[in-house]
Amino acid sequence: MPQSAAAGLRLAPEALTRPFDSSQFNFKTTEELEPFLGVLGQERAVEALQFGVAMPRPGYNVYVMGEPGTGRFSFVRRYLKAEGKRLDTPSDWVYVNNFDEPREPRVLELPQGSAAAFIADIGQLIDNLLATFPAVFEHPSFQQKKSAIDRAFNQRYDKALDVIEKLALEKDIALYRDSTNIAFTPMKDGKSMDEAEFAQLPEAERERYHEDISALEVQLNEGLASLPQWKRESSNQLRQLNDETISQALQPLLAPLSEKYAENAAIEAYLQAVQVNLLKTVVEQLVDENRPEAQNRQLLEEQYSPSLVVGHAVDGGAPVVFEPHPTYDNLFGRIEYSTDQGALYTSYRQLRPGALHRANGGFLMLEAEKMLGEPFVWEALKRALQSRKLRMESPLAELGRLATVTLTPEVIALNVKVIIIGSRQLYYTLQDLDPDFQEM
């Protein structure tokens, strides 16, 4: 460019500045200003986010696309947390034992913030059970009734033996009995004979003794033919006494809980199932004097203590959960296993919730690139959102590659809005590859 032309385009210093009146600002330095929390130049995107989040019906999830470093993630998270505070706090959830089918744990829905109190109440019930049993079986009233049942059986048994013993004495034969055996022995001059003395008797007399003892054994068998029936009757009476004693002892322990949770039909049904199960198991679980109390407590906790799925603070609002590592287990939860002599086993107390459980009733944030890089996750997430049911299961079980007994926990009603954050290119790729993408 010629020097004359360049000189004509040259700007003076005052032309490179924009004058302003400082009196129009109410601050002296920019340090006094609050940081900007919005997204510059993205009014339509913000309105779309607000519309999608505010839509109360299911099936309205949000994909936030943009380049990294533009503030999309931090803005969405701040907005969701602010929106979550205005919404209702969702229910708490716990898993409990299914006594009829332990492989299918039941789930209980509780009012917000009450799961911890319910678990504490069951813990107090366990403390009361340990304090009540086996002490209730040592009470004089129970011991007297038990002794009366045993005495009635022994009297019938002794009476039958007395008849046979009287007949035996008439024939100079003694009846001997211990805890397991009954035997007959020939007598001479009121004293029992040993084998040497018996061998010295005349053959006719020995034969008479053999015949008399054989006849007595037949009469003994006839007299004790009803012994199994007497034993069954005695066992049934003892079982009934145990059931009555346990029921009377359980009533004051369970009545306060039944009254407290009377309005929750699911909890009331669970407490009734606990009572029925205790009637069957309390003797074998709590009356073993050789077992330490700590082991008894562990047995009761494994049977009756609820397993927390998710609990919320009262009036804490809808949860906002970001899962940075969206693996299948991290999203849908997992079933853990323990080993016992080399064998794997599990129970309802080894169910571990995932991000979808924690976000249920609120919002779940995911990064698209990480989520799509995990096997099984995308298809499982679509199924859960479309069915509105949250299942805790291993994807390996569906493939038939889980070589141990597993659980099938009861499904939980799912009500969550998913916010997926990713690039524009990935958004259009998903549109082309997955016809269900826009239906989520």
Low-confidence residues of the chain, pLDDT below 50?
A: none
Q: Does 217 lie in the same domain as 147?
A: yes
Residue 133's identity, in one-letter code, is F
Q: Does 326 lie in the same domain as 407?
A: yes
Collapse the DSSP code of 417 into the 3-class scheme (helix H, G, I; strand E, B; otherwise coil) and give the result.
Answer: strand
Q: Note the pLDDT tens digit of each residue in 118-134.
A: 999 999 999 999 999 88
* Cα–Cα dist 47/54, whole Å: 10
Q: Does 150 lie in the same domain as 54?
A: no
Within-domain flag for 233: no
pLDDT reported for residue 29: 83
Cis omega (within 30 of 0) on the bond before 134? yes
pLDDT reported for residue 432: 75
Are the beta carbons of 241 and 145 closer than 8 angstroms? Answer: yes
Within-domain flag for 344: yes
H/E/C letters for each residue in 165-188?
Answer: HHHHHHCCEEEEECCCCEEEEEEE
Dihedral of CA atoms 216, 218, 221, 223 in degrees, nearest 10, equals -60
Q: Does 382 lie in the same domain as 321?
A: yes
pLDDT reported for residue 156: 86
Within-domain flag for 319: yes
Residue 183: exposed, middle, or buried by beta-carbon count in 10 A (0-12, 13-18, 19+)? exposed
Within-domain flag for 282: no
Within-domain flag for 278: no
pLDDT reported for residue 43: 82
How many domains are contained in the chain?
A: 2
Which of 195, 225, 255 is the C-terminal boundary of a domain?
Answer: 225
Q: Does 318 lie in the same domain as 440?
A: yes
pLDDT reported for residue 3: 66
Q: 178 to each of 48, 70, 182, 235, how far by Cα in Å?
A: 91, 92, 7, 21
Within-domain flag for 9: no
Which of 204, 225, 246 is the C-terminal boundary of a domain?
Answer: 225
- What's the domain range around 217? 140-225
Q: Does 150 lie in the same domain as 85?
A: no
Q: Note the pLDDT tens digit of each residue in 252-303.
A: 999 999 999 999 999 999 999 999 999 888 877 777 667 788 888 999 999 9
Q: 100 to each of 8, 97, 270, how far by Cα in Å?
A: 95, 9, 12
Within-domain flag for 7: no
Within-domain flag for 192: yes
Which of 177, 192, 225 is the C-terminal boundary of a domain?
Answer: 225
Residue 3's identity, in one-letter code, is Q
